[in-house]
């Protein structure tokens, strides 16, 4: 599967839905594309395990909290990509922006608000992971077109919440789920591509995640963890 010229133009032309809902953290991420031997690949990172990180060990796109010194959310995404994985992104690499997304609600407030930006550099990136990153993966987008990669995932902070997911590497506990999977579902929907790894019902679950809440017994602990992460 290849994101070619026509798909890139569709992303460029798209007018993203940007929403100002209240959240604990406002963040921005970069989806970085490249053409690989078997089609388009996406740069993902596995976060280093840390007891104070609410996303410890999880697969994600480079990104993080929007800081006061950032000119805007796109600038934050570019800065975080450089800090976390050494990717130097420029305006020439920028393709477009996807819809804003929100995490689960905790005590009636969204846990996180994420702006998502898409880049495709026309050169090989000199990547270098920092201390926040345990591993980096160039994930073929074709992985999302194979139902055999589907995985039923239990939320690590609230096992009562079952979520659709995609297995990347079981031996490394690399599982694509949550907000990152929702971003790619949005990208596929924008491109009018099928996403065979998910059933229609599972796509519906992803779209409805913003209406779900973590159990109250876990809410206070997670809120403190996210707020602590936001201050770091």
Over residues 43-66, the mean pLDDT reads 87
Q: Class assignment of domain 5-231?
A: alpha beta
Predicted confidence at residue 230, as pLDDT, reads 47
- In the predicted model, is pLDDT for residue 229 greater than 60? no
- In the predicted model, is pLDDT for residue 155 greater than 80? no
Dump pLDDT digits (tens) for 177-207: 999 999 999 999 999 999 999 999 999 999 8
Over residues 122-150, the mean pLDDT reads 96
- In the predicted model, is pLDDT for residue 55 greater than 90? no
Predicted confidence at residue 28, as pLDDT, reads 97
Dump pLDDT digits (tens) for 82-111: 999 999 999 999 999 999 999 888 778 888
Tokens 């000119």 sit on residue: 71
* Range of lowest pLDDT (20-29, 62-71, 116-125, 143-152): 20-29
Predicted confidence at residue 225, as pLDDT, reads 52
Predicted confidence at residue 231, as pLDDT, reads 42
Mean pLDDT over all residues of the chain?
89
Give 217's pLDDT tier (boundaries 50, 70, 90): low
User: Residue 139 and residue 181: Cα distance in Å, rounded?
Assistant: 12
């Amino acid at each position: 599967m290849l994101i070619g010229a026509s798909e890139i133009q569709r992303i460029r032309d798209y007018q993203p839905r940007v929403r100002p809902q209240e959240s604990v953290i406002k963040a921005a991420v970069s989806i970085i594309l490249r053409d690989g031997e078997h089609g388009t690949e996406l740069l993902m990172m596995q976060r280093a395990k840390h007891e104070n990180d609410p996303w410890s060990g999880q697969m994600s796109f480079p990104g993080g909290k929007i800081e006061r010194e950032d000119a805007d959310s796109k600038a934050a995404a570019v800065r975080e990509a450089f800090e976390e994985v050494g990717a130097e992104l420029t305006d020439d690499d920028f393709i477009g922006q996807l819809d804003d997304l929100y995490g689960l609600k905790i005590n009636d407030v969204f846990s996180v608000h994420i702006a998502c930006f898409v880049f495709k550099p026309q050169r090989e990136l000199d990547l270098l992971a920092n201390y926040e990153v345990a591993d980096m993966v160039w994930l073929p987008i074709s992985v999302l077109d194979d139902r055999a990669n589907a995985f039923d995932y239990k939320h690590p902070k609230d096992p009562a919440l079952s979520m659709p997911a995609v297995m990347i590497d079981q031996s490394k506990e690399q599982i694509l789920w949550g907000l990152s999977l929702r971003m790619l579902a949005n990208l596929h929907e924008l491109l009018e591509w099928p996403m065979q790894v998910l059933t229609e019902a599972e796509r519906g679950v992803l779209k409805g995640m913003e209406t779900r809440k973590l159990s109250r017994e876990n809410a206070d602990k997670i809120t403190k963890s996210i707020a602590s992460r936001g201050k770091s």
